[in-house]
Amino acid sequence: MFVQSRIVRFIPKHAPYVAFRRSASTKSLQETLRDVIPEKQEQLRKLKSEHGQVVVGDVKIENIIGGMRGLKAMLWEASVLDANEGIRFHGLTIPDCQKTLPSAPGGKEIIAESMLWLLLTGKVPTVEQTRQLSRELAEKGELPSFVEELVDSLPCTLHPMTQLGIGVAALNRDSSFQAAYEKGMKKSEYWIPTLEDCISLIAKLPTLAARIYRNVYKPGTSMPPINKDLDLVGNYSNLLGYGNNHNLTEYLRLYIALHGDHEGGNASAHTAHLVGSTLSDPYLSYSAALFALAGPLHGLANQEVLRWQLAMQAEIGDNISHDNIKAYLWKTLKGGQVVPGYGHGVLRNPDPRFIALQEFCNSRPEFQTSPIIQLVNKTSEVAPDVLKEHGKTKNPYPNVDATSGCVLYHYGFTEFKYYTVIFGVSRALGALTQLVWARALGLPLERPKSYSMDALEKLIKESY
Ligand SMILES: CC(=O)SCCNC(=O)CCNC(=O)[C@H](O)C(C)(C)COP(=O)(O)OP(=O)(O)OC[C@H]1O[C@@H](n2cnc3c(N)ncnc32)[C@H](O)[C@@H]1OP(=O)(O)O
Ligand SMILES: O=C([O-])CC(=O)C(=O)O
């Protein structure tokens, strides 16, 4: 059969990993992945057998006591972070993805399905493939009734992230992986039910997350049915009750695509990987990841930023001068608190996700007079110099959380304790992708060596 390939018009300079073309293929995600797996298995076999002894770095005492920062110690397929340039998904930068990944009908932003396809397969999907995946996700979106009853029984005073983690863990009752494992499935086939679970979980996350939102913030309102002709985030927005706000829906699409993956060492992705390495099923693994995301130094920072910016706004009023912001930043730092939304474990420049969200705002007239977005922008002009003068943080620049929640607030989505749940819907794309690859590549149990301080001192003495 003659298959015509269409090279996408924009070819980036550094796109080493991805087959940067959209083929006319109508192969499903599962079929595409099945084609890619043998190549990757062979690549891993060679790395192990031919290069297993190559040294890629030293381990210093400062790495061991410093949160393993800088250690090159994990395999992660879908994305790699450069400290200065930021994230690349299979070699593609965020602007590359914005140019090439299919969007929703009537929309312009990247959608979760096209990002998921890229992360899982390393290939840019066709529009048809993306639509096929949207339909599959919509068809698998309903929650089992016992999970609905479980989340409905939770007190609305329980943080939405705790509720999300509970709901995701409970979905494991129907895990295909767990059932197949119990029946004695061969290791080489683990990836198949793992993929099934991952797709099912990604499909159900918006329904679960929207149910939590309704229970906590809009009690007594009923959710519309899942629309089989909509993309995942289009449905999520609908279920939340914001479906008629096109701009907010587009923002959610971009937000969820961009937060999908940030290589493997971040706390949520790493947690999913660690738990998954014990052969816990994807629901349990991702539930654990959500509780890492719920910490204020990680995903919860997007709620903290809004709280902090609103407190700043209340204190300085309408006079949002650089000097007033600077004084508020110093007050935060002298109070012994971190400036939320600034700094990063790896990045050493402004986060390109922050830039992409700022560009989203800059391209829309409604943000030019938005008090909260103007305050975020002005803060980002002042904070780096203040943090440099403060002299502690290795990265004084804004990360993605510096604006992500504030844009939601602008749109009237003001329930800030819910914001990290949206991040949790997104991070599944990357964390679950890696679980599929971990099983397809037969990666082992993760179990690093630890030392006590006494044992470290002994090692130090021995090294002299
Ligand atoms: C999606 C995400 O997870 S992005 C990150 C979201 N988190 C935030 O925005 C919270 C604010 N930022 C921070 O707390 C940090 O920058 C982190 C947690 C993101 C990274 O932490 P680290 O890798 O340890 O940063 P770094 O090496 O620069 O830290 C050195 C010192 O600077 C401090 N520092 C780092 N960032 C900040 C900040 N934004 N405000 C004040 N102090 C800071 C650290 O607390 C540390 O102080 P210590 O020596 O007293 O412990
Ligand atoms: O990479 C990190 O450590 C934190 C982060 O930005 C993310 O997980 O999105």
Annotated catalytic residue 344:
yes
In the numeric block, which tokens belong to residue 306? 């809004």
Asked if 437 and 40 touch (Cβ cutoff 8 Å), the reply is: yes
**14: annotated active-site residue:** no
CA of 322 to the centre of ligand 1 (A): 23
Mean pLDDT of 400-404: 97
> What would the two tokens of residue 242 be?
């914001």
The 10 Å CB-count burial string (b at 16+, else e) for 437-448 is: bbbbbebeeeee
Residues in CB range of 312: below 8 A, 6 or more apart: 325, 328, 375, 379
Give CA–CA dist 196/175, Å, rounded.
Answer: 9
Tell me the average pLDDT of the chain.
Answer: 94
Whole-angstrom distance, CA of residue 437 vs CA of residue 120: 8
Interface confidence (ipTM) of the complex: 0.99
Take residue 431 and report the two structure tokens written for it.
């964390």
Of 4-18, 181-195, 242-256, 449-463, minimum mean pLDDT range: 4-18
3-class DSSP assignment, residue 452: coil
DSSP 88: E
51 is an active site residue: no
State how far Cα 313 lies from the chain centre. 29
Model pLDDT, residue 25: 73
| Cβ-contact 113, 130 below 8 angstroms | yes
CA of 372 to the centre of ligand 1 (A): 23
Mean pLDDT across the stretch 250-257?
98
CA distance 82 to 383: 22
The ligand 1 site (C-beta within 6 Å) comprises 69, 297-299, 301, 333, 338-345, 392-395, 399-401
pLDDT for res 4? 32
pLDDT digits (tens, 9 = 90+) for 101-120: 999 999 999 999 999 999 99
Using alpha carbons, list the distances in angstroms from residue 93 to 77, 83, 127, 262, 324.
15, 13, 20, 12, 36
CA distance 168 to 143: 10
- The string of pLDDT tens digits covering residues 417-435 is 999 999 999 999 999 999 9
Over residues 274-291, the pLDDT tens digits come to 999 999 999 999 999 999
